[in-house]
Chain A
Amino acid sequence: MNNRHIVEMRNITKRFGTIVALRNVNFHVNENEIVGLVGDNGAGKSTLVKILAGVYAPDEGEIVIKGMRFKKLNPKLAYELGIVLIHQEYTLCDDHPIWRNVFMGRELTNKLGFLKINDMKKIAYQSLSQLGLFRMPVDTPVKYLSGGYKQGVQISRALVFEADLVILDEPTTALSITETQRVLEYVKELKNKGKSAIFISHNIYHVYPVADRFVILDKGNVIAEFNKKDLVPEDLTEIMISIARTGKIPEKYHELNLYRSTSSI
């Protein structure tokens, strides 16, 4: 596997007033890798990815994307660098049709800026069909779609624009079992197409099947990092419970923890 980092975050610290949301966090994503970002509520998962998507500016640290170093990003810049954030609420326009949402912010136009509506509809339809989403016409307003379908629309947005890194912030929360399965299929599809992804979830059983590597955050610190091949889901659950109770990972997993070994060098 190629271990080139497509994104690296170095010594990131973020404070909200007196609260330290992230403390000296190091984090990276390799090419064609799905990273499962897990941790309890308030661990700083969303804050970390929002910094990566340019929503928040970090107080300290730097972000390296494709060899370029940034003190901070903004949403437009992150989008142009191929980072797409997918979220249930804040990335779709509910009153607008599927095809417009797919092309939002990057509309296909002629030289005068007039929309190429038919082209966009066609590409949106093809892209959604690849994900098995052809039941609803692309003219359907997004508000008529179920949660899983909406995630699909956003994934196809990322695919159409050849995003390198797709961030899925709690994509399976509040979804039914079938829909969750479908979203996991989308994520696998991303991996098949050579993309990278960050998958955030509370639910170990949602992250485990798709992720290659797990990064565990707790109270603003990265405390552990594991390769998928070293663990079974039950181990991960055990680790999470231990962290919730004692703030530490159990002794027997110390050997497998990649984060400690890299930071001690």
Chain B
Amino acid sequence: MRKTFSRIEIAKQIIARYRLQLITTLILLVVWFTFSIINPAAFTNTFTYTSLMVVSPFTIIPALSLTLIIIAGEIDLSFSSIMALGPLITALTWQVMGEASFLGVLSGLIVGLGAGLLNGILVCKLGIPSLIATIGTMFLWRGVVLVITQGFGIPLGQYRNSAVFNALVGRVEGVPAQFLWAIGLAIILWLILNRHRFGAHIYYIGDNRTAAQMVGINIHKVLILIFAIHGLIAAFTGMINAFEMATFWPTLGDIYMLKSVAAVVVGGTPVTGGVGTIYGTFIGGLMLEFIEMGILAAGFTGFWIRLVHGLIIIIALAAQGILRRRELIRARIMRLITT
């Protein structure tokens, strides 16, 4: 009797644990199906999927590392500006060197890492709430970019055939390299989050910071490190974006800020921290991009994109809210049973 009870419980818990991911995936499939009906020609065409793979990493990649920060119960909005700062440093290095080198990429990444580190230090060492601190650095880095460029773009077309471009935004058997980067980073971050001690600590800090502190987890070290990782990855994403467009624009990254945050939230990671998944974020980002593409393919104007995005975000959050409330009730009942 006891055994059957626990087996059913295990099954229920597995479903409960992956319920959010299942729902997110389901919504993606529904969206895909809807668009396929509206415009079958566009959605049986491989070109549509290729371009999805070209643009979706701009939203997905920063959302992946943002997931770590949100799970830890913090937020970072400055990554949209770091997305411009990183490639600017790269472009300037290239201008000085006269060629597209990996050194330029490296210097851009280091600056991104440094900018992320600064966020971490502001939040941890000076105790500024991350929302405020990163709004500050968001303006700061955007300002730096605008002052340096004086608002002008930097063409990168002449570097198009370089090894750097191929590595970051080339095509591998027709698949855009940036999509492979997105998948690779998703796997790495998933491993860190779910199979590594560091990821476990990220979860604990978001779930119960006092408890994490009591068992001796170095909270500041973990937070500073994930802010730094996020800065690094934001700079990397900015480069991918600039290389793909073959131009550096000083406004680069602006539109991805809220889209990446939305991808995380739609993917089932609540802003309250402690829980969340990389998988959900990946699907969430893919879905937002898919909707954008679908709306255009279905013949609507771009004005509809925000409206539909808004609807999807609200629907996803409402579904998650209902699930969580049911889970709370379930937890209450379970607590009585286990007494």
Contact = CB atoms under 8 A, between A and B. Distances in A.
Contact of B335 (A77, A113, A137, A144): A144
B273 to A, nearest CB: 9
Q: Main SS of chain B's interface residues?
A: helix
Interface stretch (B44-52, B58-66, B207-215): B207-215
Q: Main SS of chain A's interface residues?
A: loop
Interface residues of A, number: 42
B6 A136 contact: yes
B338 A79 contact: no
A107 B339 contact: no
A95 B207 contact: yes
Interface in B258-293: 274-275
Interface string A103-114: 011110100111
Given A93-B211, A143-B331, A114 B196 contact: yes
B325 interface: no
Q: Among B10, B203, B330, B339, which residue has the most Cβ atoms of chain A within 10 A?
A: B339
Contacts, number: 111
A178 B339 contact: yes
Interface stretch (A9-17, A29-37, A84-92, A194-202): A84-92
B214 A85 contact: yes
Interface residues of B, number: 34
A121 to B, nearest CB: 13
Interface in A45-85: 53, 55, 75-77, 79-80, 85
B211 A137 contact: no
A100 interface: yes
Interface stretch (A145-153, A211-219, A234-242, A243-251): A145-153
Contacts of B218: 76
Contacts of B10: 137, 139
B99 interface: no
B200 A79 contact: no
Interface pairs A-B: 7 shortest CB-CB: A105-B215, A76-B216, A93-B207, A144-B334, A90-B210, A79-B216, A146-B339
